[in-house]
Amino acid sequence: MASLIPDTPCSCDCFVSVPPASAIPAVIFAKNSDRPWDEVQEVVFVPATMHAPGSRLQCTYIEVEQVSKTHAVILSRPSWLWGAEMGANEHGVCIGNEAVWTKEPVGDGEALLGMDLLRLALERSSSAQEALNVITGLLERYGQGGSCREDPTPFCYHNTFLLADRTEAWVLETAGQLWAAQRIQEGARNISNQLSIGTDISAEHPELRAHAQAQGWWSGQGTFHFAQVFSLTQQPVRMEAAKARFQVGRELLQQQQGAITAEVMMGILRNKESGICMDSGGFRTTASMVSILPQDPTQPCVHFLTATPDPSRSVFKPFIFGVGVAQAPQVLSPTFGAQDPARTLPRFQTQVDRRHTLYRGHQAALGLMEREQDQGQELQQKQQALEQEGLEAARGLLTGQWAPPPQEWGRLFQTFVERESQVYA
SS (H, E, C) the chain: CCECCCCCCCCEEEEEEECCCECCCEEEEEEEEEEECCCCEEEEEECCEECCCCCEEECCCCEEECCCEECCEEEEEECCCCCCCEEEECCCCEEEEEEECECCCCCCCCCECHHHHHHHHHHHCCCHHHHHHHHHHHHHHHCECCCCCCCCCCECCEEEEEEECCCCEEEEEEECCEEEEEEECCEEEEECCCCCCCCCCCEECCCHHHHHHHCCCCCCCCCCCHHHHHECCCCCHHHHHHHHHHHHHHHHHHHCCCCECHHHHHHHHCCCCCCCCCEECCEEEEEEEEEEEECCCCCCCEEEECCCCCHHHCCCEEECCCCCCCCCHHHCCCCCHHHCCCCCCCCCCCCCCCCCHHHHHHHHHHHHHHHCHHHHHHHHHHHHHHHHHHHHHHHHHHHCCCCCCHHHHCCHHHHHHHHHHHHHC
List, by residue number, the catalytic residues. Answer: 12
Cα–Cα distance for residue pair 162/159, rounded to 1 Å: 10
